[in-house]
Structure 1
Amino acid sequence: MSAEDWADAGKDTEGVRRVGRDYLDSLPQPPKDGSPKANADWWKGLDPEQQAAWTALQPNTVGGLDGLPATARDEANRIVLDEKRGQYRTELNGIPKPPANEWTWITAGMFPSKVHTDEWMEWDKKYGDQYRHLKSSLNGMNAIQTRFDQTGVGGLPEAYLLGFSPEGNGRAIVANGNPDTARHQAVYVPGTTSNLGSIGGNVDRMTELWRQTQQATPNASVSTITWLGYDAPQSIVKDAPFEHYAYDGAPAYRKFLDGLDASYSGSSEPHRTAIGHSYGTTLIGAAAQTGDLNADDVIFAGSPGVKVGSADEMDVPKGHVWNEEADGDKVPDIGRWGHGGSQWKMGGGVFLIPSDDAFGAHQMNTHAEGSGPQATTGAEGHSEYWEKGTTALKNQALVVVGEYGDVTAPR
């Protein structure tokens, strides 16, 4: 369908929804600010016809409720995704494109300076923010669709859209494999500069992790999830030093993890790993500090600090906090002054981060290992922990599938 067709369909659907609201009002309502278990109980109390009505008439509601089955949330969120993509394409087509002559040179004093043209400045003042939001959001929606289209390629499992919104910086929760039936679940929190427009790179990271788990344990039952369910800092300099992004997002992360329990239908208890990169590790630390983190293992990569000073404070069994710091990663040493934790045990202190021995995390190797077909390469910077073929990725996968004895420590 064209963008105009989707936009028209969206308008028609909204009309149907207005008519159907009286019917929905007659049905059992979702609990107000309900826990994942309460949400799950509400959904189970509906018959199939009622569930279908809620999905068709209020997909935003169904798609956003932690505790509902992944299949139900996915169906609802795909409806919202398709409608929003059509709407945003139509809106973008209605905005004049930016002037081709964006830049010009002026001479001020002895040296020429490159500045925006008056024509471009006028366009930017009138349309710039809206244009950039629409373009960025559409990039993210297209990236999500690309992941849908990759299902089956190289054995990649079905993708599930467990959360979606293009409002503000955007929200997207994308799972490789159904977490309701997966024995091993991994829920990854991305860090600074993450938004809907850049979701593709973060989804790719969890796709690579899923593939690596299959090498670690062939045919392992695994779901790897990209969780962009919070407003991440958008600027390294202006935003990342502040802690409120982590504390503001922590309750939503805890609720999502609890929701995975409420919707789980597997035959045995799930094994769940919380994974964070950069500022995402800070959020996971804040989630453990201010509530109960429903996880069995925690993996930090490139952490600037997690607000607590000890692995014992991470709500997982002793010995199940893991950390990776690549040699070329500068974020941990810089970030510790804003997000490091404290402890007063022997060898402790202040501004501790997971890379410090006193913190008590297992340090995982990120250097190249081995030779021949099984050799791995090293991760050398802040963004390379999920690069295909790296030791960092291999070690993460081993934790996710519970093969702890094969995890290697730094040399």
Structure 2
Amino acid sequence: MTFDSDPTPGRVEAVVAWTENLRAHAERYKTRGNAANEALAQLGERQWSGLAADAFRRRLRTVRDGAQTASTRHGEAGDAAQSWAEAMHATQYDAHRALLAAEEAQNDIAVAEAAMRALTGDHAALLDAVAALESGSAGSSVPAGAELYAARQRAEEAREDLLLAGRRLEDAQQRLEDARALGRRAKEQYDRAEADLARRLEAAHRGALPGSTTAELTSFRSGVGKLGAIDVSGKSVATANMNLLRRLTPDEVKVVLAGNPALQRRFWDNPPDPEAVAGWWNGLTAETRATLLRTAPGVFGNLPGLPYADRDTANRISLAKALKNANLTDDQKAVLAQMERAFEAPADNVPVQLVAFNLFMSPPRVAVGYGDLDACDNTTWCASGMMSGAKDSLNGWSDAAKNLWNAQNSLNVERPGVIAFLEYDNPDPVGVNFSDSAKSGAPRFAAELDGNAATRAVFGPGRTPITVTAHSYGTTMASIALTLTKTRIDTFVMVASAGIDTSLVPSLSVLHADHIYTTAATPDRLAPLGAFVSGRAEPNPTVADPRGISLGGAESFSSDGDGQDLEPVDGHDAIGKTGATSNSGPWTFNTVPSEGHGYFDLRTQSLRNIAATTTGQPDQVSGRLTHTTALADQHNKDAARYATQFAVTP
């Protein structure tokens, strides 16, 4: 290290003034945060409710939280500035001492080096003189002993002077090195304090309360005013949401709607009429659409009635933000961990579209589509069952959907569209005995089906077949949804049904579906047991529990294999367990099939028949199609006799 420049520049008094300024800002932000908090306490839901109130309180919470963060960060920056001032004072003192010591050492080195040069010459001359005297070459006479002794003494004194000069040079060099080390330490301490200040200032900048432009404040005021007008309109929530979309400008959406979990949840639970949404979206410019997708992806990515390409764009924006979020729940992390596999295409050059992406609800909800859903030949929605929500089974259920895409494609459907639907709260083994999850998920599924029809009708290329296949408890949910749709779908296929809730679906004839099919594998003991325990009707009378009820009205097909090329299903799950050579055994009612023997595994008779029925090709079904009405009636008569025979007499 040299001392050509000051290693610790700066004015301590300027940093002290900076410290005071930062702490003053921290106090002002604290005051703002406290004021916002007091306002929130006075504006509770009892005093003011509705969309406008929610938006205003959210804004106040943003101001409060931002002010509190800004206060903390500026206080920390003030502490760092004080530490830097103290470090600057100490290091400048050390650097000054190092500089003085270095200057003194450098002067001593110069003196010592000059003395060394002179003494080296003197010592050499004296040694030559002694040598000459000893050899007699100095003259003709022999030198006296005293003269020789004196010469040797002078040479020794010169040697000691030379050694002393050398020690002084070494001492001066060591002092110079010590001075340099002190200077380096001072500079390192200075740099550390400076870096800490820079880090704290950056944190203060990130945590600073963002300012609002006049235009943003104007948009917020006008947006809140429109929310208030919608609140008092007396319309349904879905209608109010549609009015909100029509009235808010993109700038108002940005400051009122974007990033608002409560409003996103409101749109998810109460989506506007998809036909109205499609018509409204069709009337917007491409620039306005792009702005809305970018500013409120959580709303528009999950809005039935929008083209699937637009929903995919918005949802991938939300996904990218989620991947950068360090404060996710375990359920949210579980979903993100499965997204890469879910995005794998079922075949080369097949698009994958993120139809729904909802991390702001618990549990998270997702839907992934395979094929170009805006241009495919037919669309099949696959509804998952018990314990098969996004956090648990996004991988498995997306694999099932991809297998179905390939099975449909193998039946000469050039451009299938298949959607893995995981947009409801799939029940656990206890909840599966009740219809609560099915009833809460059905309206969302119905909206998606109506949105599918509206999107194709408005944006082209015109109506194409819409079909539904559901597995296990998914059939319970989907059957309820098909009583709520405006759209009449082409086909509904029930796979390993956990039962139909006849209090809501008294007959399969009330479903808005032209064709209804059902299947259950003989080894699958869980599906009929679930229907019986829950009190729901089993649509597969040949496997129904003898004590339970059955519901006819569908056509059934086999999932037990054709004895040739198509494999049987030997358990309840959609996909067989990798590596398993047999099902899980009777003690778990054959819940887990062996590898390759789940209902949606490739090369099974079940998947072949699901693909044939969902593409309107019943002639491609392997095995017979059997009408279940007469079989269900006979089962119910037998069940009634069974109940009478084993009735307990009080």
Q: Is 1:174 matched up with 2:389?
A: no
| TM-score, normalised by the number of residues in structure 1 | 0.74
Q: Is 1:30 matched up with 2:245?
A: yes
- Of the three residues 529, 545, 552, the one matched with 1:334 is 529
Q: For the structure 1 residues 382 and 138, does the alpha-carbon distance in structure 2 shift closer, same or farther, using more than 3 Å as the test?
A: same
- Specify the alignment match of 1:270 in structure 2: 464
Q: For the structure 1 residues 140 and 339, does the alpha-carbon distance in structure 2 shift closer, same or farther, using more than 3 Å as the test?
A: farther
- Of the three residues 395, 405, 410, the one matched with 1:210 is 405
CA contact (8 A) 1:309 1:341 kept: no
Deviation at 1:367, TM superposition (A): 2.1
- Specify the alignment match of 1:91 in structure 2: 327
- Which amino acid in the other structure matches residue 350 of structure 2? P
Where do 5+ consecutive residues of structure 2 fail to align? 1-202, 227-242, 247-266, 540-545, 574-597, 626-650
CA contact (8 A) 2:562 2:623 kept: no
Q: For the structure 1 residues 22 and 52, does the alpha-carbon distance in structure 2 shift closer, same or farther, using more than 3 Å as the test?
A: farther
- Specify the alignment match of 2:140 in structure 1: none
- Specify the alignment match of 1:105 in structure 2: none
- Specify the alignment match of 2:236 in structure 1: none
- Specify the alignment match of 1:394 in structure 2: 608
Q: Per residue, is there more helix in 1 or in 2?
A: 2
- Specify the alignment match of 1:377 in structure 2: 567
Partner Cα distance (1:325, 1:216) in 2: 22
* Percent of aligned pairs with the same amino acid: 24
CA contact (8 A) 2:475 2:497 kept: yes
- Specify the alignment match of 2:355 in structure 1: 162
Partner Cα distance (1:215, 1:342) in 2: 31
Partner Cα distance (1:174, 1:17) in 2: 37
- Which amino acid in the other structure matches residue 570 of structure 2? E
Q: For the structure 1 residues 366 and 257, does the alpha-carbon distance in structure 2 shift closer, same or farther, using more than 3 Å as the test?
A: same
- Of the three residues 388, 394, 399, the one matched with 1:199 is 394
Q: For the structure 1 residues 59 and 239, does the alpha-carbon distance in structure 2 shift closer, same or farther, using more than 3 Å as the test?
A: same
Point out which structure has higher relative CO (alpha carbons under 8 A, 6+ apart).
Answer: 1
Partner Cα distance (2:450, 2:547) in 1: 31
- Specify the alignment match of 1:223 in structure 2: 417
Deviation at 1:218, TM superposition (A): 5.1
Deviation at 1:342, TM superposition (A): 9.8
Deviation at 1:141, TM superposition (A): 2.0
Q: Per residue, is there more strand in 1 or in 2?
A: 1
- Which amino acid in the other structure matches residue 143 of structure 1? Q
- Specify the alignment match of 1:103 in structure 2: none
Deviation at 1:23, TM superposition (A): 6.1
Q: Is 1:146 matched up with 2:341?
A: yes
Deviation at 1:139, TM superposition (A): 3.1
Q: Could you say what secondary structure the match of 1:368 adopts?
A: coil
Q: Could you say what secondary structure the match of 1:46 adopts?
A: coil
CA contact (8 A) 2:500 2:538 kept: no
- Which amino acid in the other structure matches residue 369 of structure 1? D
Partner Cα distance (1:389, 1:335) in 2: 27
CA contact (8 A) 1:287 1:293 kept: no
- Specify the alignment match of 1:187 in structure 2: 381
Q: Could you say what secondary structure the match of 2:272 adopts?
A: coil
CA contact (8 A) 2:559 2:606 kept: yes
Deviation at 1:364, TM superposition (A): 1.2
- In the TM superposition, what are the counterparts of 1:309-388 in structure 2 within 5 Å? 310-317=507-514, 320-337=515-532, 338-341=534-537, 352-353=549-550, 359-369=552-562, 371=564, 375-383=565-573, 384-388=598-602
Q: For the structure 1 residues 16 and 363, does the alpha-carbon distance in structure 2 shift closer, same or farther, using more than 3 Å as the test?
A: farther
Partner Cα distance (1:16, 1:252) in 2: 38
Q: For the structure 1 residues 57 and 21, does the alpha-carbon distance in structure 2 shift closer, same or farther, using more than 3 Å as the test?
A: farther
Deviations 1:1-41 (A, max 9, x none): xxxxxxx9xx99xx799986966978995158521011112
Deviation at 1:194, TM superposition (A): 2.1
Partner Cα distance (2:558, 2:525) in 1: 17
- In the TM superposition, what are the counterparts of 1:285-300 in structure 2 within 5 Å? 285-290=479-484, 292=486, 294-300=488-494
Q: Could you say what secondary structure the match of 1:395 adopts?
A: helix
- Which amino acid in the other structure matches residue 536 of structure 2? G
CA contact (8 A) 1:309 1:342 kept: no
CA contact (8 A) 2:335 2:394 kept: yes
- In the TM superposition, what are the counterparts of 1:85-124 in structure 2 within 5 Å? 85-87=323-325, 90-91=326-327
- Which amino acid in the other structure matches residue 512 of structure 2? D
- Specify the alignment match of 1:281 in structure 2: 475
Deviation at 1:368, TM superposition (A): 2.2
Q: Could you say what secondary structure the match of 2:357 adopts?
A: strand
Q: Could you say what secondary structure the match of 1:41 adopts?
A: helix
